[in-house]
Amino acid sequence: MKHILLFILLIIVLKTKAQQQDRPNILWIVSEDNSPLLGCYGDAFATTPNLDKFAKQGVLYKNAFATAPVCAPSRSTLITGMYPPSMGTEHMRSTYPAPDYVKFFPRYFREAGYYTTNNAKKDYNTVDQLEAWDESSAKATYKNRKPGQPFFAVFNLNVSHESGIHTSVPIEKLKHDPEKVKLPPYHPATPEMKHDWAQYYDKLEEMDRQAGALLKELEAEGLAENTIVFYYSDNGGILGRSKRFVYESGLRVPLIIRFPEKFSGLAPDAPGSVTDRIVTFNDFAPSVMSLAGLDIPTYMQGKAFLGKKEVKERAYAYGFRGRMDERTDLSRTVRDKQFRYIRNYMPHKIYAQHLEYLWKAPSMPSWEAEYKAGRLNADQKRFWEEKPAEELFDIATDPHNIHNLAADPKYKDVLQKLRKANHDWLIESKDVGFIPEGLLSKISETTPLRDYAESGKYALEKVIQTAEIASSREKSQLKELMKRLGDKDPVVRYWAVIGTIVLKNDAIAAKPKLQTLLNDPEVTVRIASAESLLAFGETDAPVETLSEALKSENQMARVQALNVLETIGAKAQPAFENVRALLKTDQQDSDYDVRAAKKILEVAENK
């Protein structure tokens, strides 16, 4: 009997080992902040021999997109398989909780016997889930797994991060010649701009070297023949108008996937092939689960583009922009294989809202100086002006997205199709990003925002409709906006007020109602009303309202108020005492209100 039990145990062990060997290891090499500026993507100025070689061994994706043009929200997508605006995790460096049923997907790999490691960045823009990883640190490696155990491992390469150009290296130390950089048409050829671009290409060369070292290590460990390797970037970037902006330069990323011969049956095509299939970060989690033979949770909004559970190719890639650090904004975008459509819901805010972190790159102050001196052409100065409500670009003829076709009658059908695709996705995904963040953060204290969206308490369709009316710039909509200023829903009231801000003096008839809204029970509505009244020439009451908001315990309400105060310069003087008070407080969370407060004082003092 004892021998029989030992025999059965041996069979189980051997079967388990065989199953493990039949399951692919999966390795992610993730670089930070780079568009497809690689030789294998046709960039002749780039020095990327390792990834160019890797592309010949794998499948190169021409149409791979981050959901957000910045790290934390896009990484939220990657780790959950969920679209961040549907969970409230769209705003930069927020920690609003995901619902209990949403698990960081490496946890499913662990439960299936995989060894999971992350080296080392997380930045998932929500409450962390430590149980997702066997190891997550600067020393994490798949080498610590048990013999024969399959692994899912992530290595993050941060050398190409935008901080890499904050300090300029001496020009004689650059490997790439600033005078030979081909600038995008929206960038002026200042010495600082050319230098930042050249230095960035140097960083990409080092990133390529590090990626090559990881690939060599995999081979040295004898694991290349059992491992499917992904290389991609977490978002586009890094110079102005790329990272943080919903253009190709911010959302399109490189993606190359190599399948070893053993798992060639899982590959979509032969080594060295190129595909134009549209894939987004939403699809990464279900796709790697499909490759590993795992069940894909039904709550995931992404769809597998690889493995046995591969589905039909998606028609659109959706993207978004929410608050970026200390600046509020809201845009949504849809991309098919030829066109990119962008809807700007706060068109009154210029593209180039001052961001302390972005302005650390020498190229940004140089670009701003050229604008103030009046030395920019139309394509270069547009970044410093208000946005249109809608943008439409033909990627095939306009890869830099500078020729807006939204008003061109020849593209009316395309515009309407993509406008509808955007609207339908907002409804389908239950986009909670239209709730002003001051209110959003308050809701999240008691209810995960995805749960709130599904509870029936969120008047989604009316909110979206109001936001579309508000951002349209159509004077004919003023009557409807005024009606909605009295709506029982504070989110509808908020967007109706935004509509009056967008219309400026054309909304003067709404002034009496806006004055009453300075006493609205919802602070975000009060702040927006103050902003609108300031545009009508009112000062005392709006500034008092904004100053009072700076004493709120709600940080996002403070940030909203500070964004408005900065626009009026010295007229904000009565609020300066409360502005300065923010600089003296010990921050228990992010410092975005402090950053905005510093800028207000700088603007007022003409620094």
Annotated catalytic sites, by residue?
Answer: 71
Asked whether 499 and 477 are in contact (CB, 8 A), the reply is yes
Lookup result for tokens 């609108």:
532
User: What 3-state class would DSSP assign to 350?
Assistant: strand
Separation between Cα atoms, residue 273 and residue 55, nearest integer Å = 8
Among the listed residues 534, 518, 526, the one whose alpha carbon sits nearest the alpha carbon of residue 566:
534
User: What 3-state class would DSSP assign to 245?
Assistant: coil
Lookup result for tokens 């640190």:
137
Lookup result for tokens 């008047």:
459
Residue 349, Cβ neighbours under 10 Å: how many?
20
| HEC-encoded secondary structure of 29-60 | EEECCCCCCCHHHCCCCCCCHHHHHHHHHCEE
Pairing of strands 115-119, 252-258: unpaired
Separation between Cα atoms, residue 133 and residue 117, nearest integer Å = 6
Asked whether 438 and 523 are in contact (CB, 8 A), the reply is yes
Pairing of strands 25-31, 151-157: parallel
What does the DSSP 8-state code read for residue 407?
Answer: T
Asked whether 33 and 235 are in contact (CB, 8 A), the reply is yes
Beta bridge partner(s), residue 386: 350
The angle, 0 to 180 degrees and rounded to 10, between the axes of the packed helices 49-57 and 191-220 is 50
Lookup result for tokens 């920019």:
376
In b/e form, how buried is each residue of 67-103, taking b as 16+ CB within 10 angstroms? bbbbbbbbbbbbbbbbbbbbbbbbbbbbebbbbeebb
Residue 117, amino acid: T
Six token digits for residue 472: 């349209």
Let me know if 419 is exposed, middle or buried by CB neighbors in 10 A (0-12, 13-18, 19+): middle
User: What 3-state class would DSSP assign to 339?
Assistant: strand
Residue 110, amino acid: R
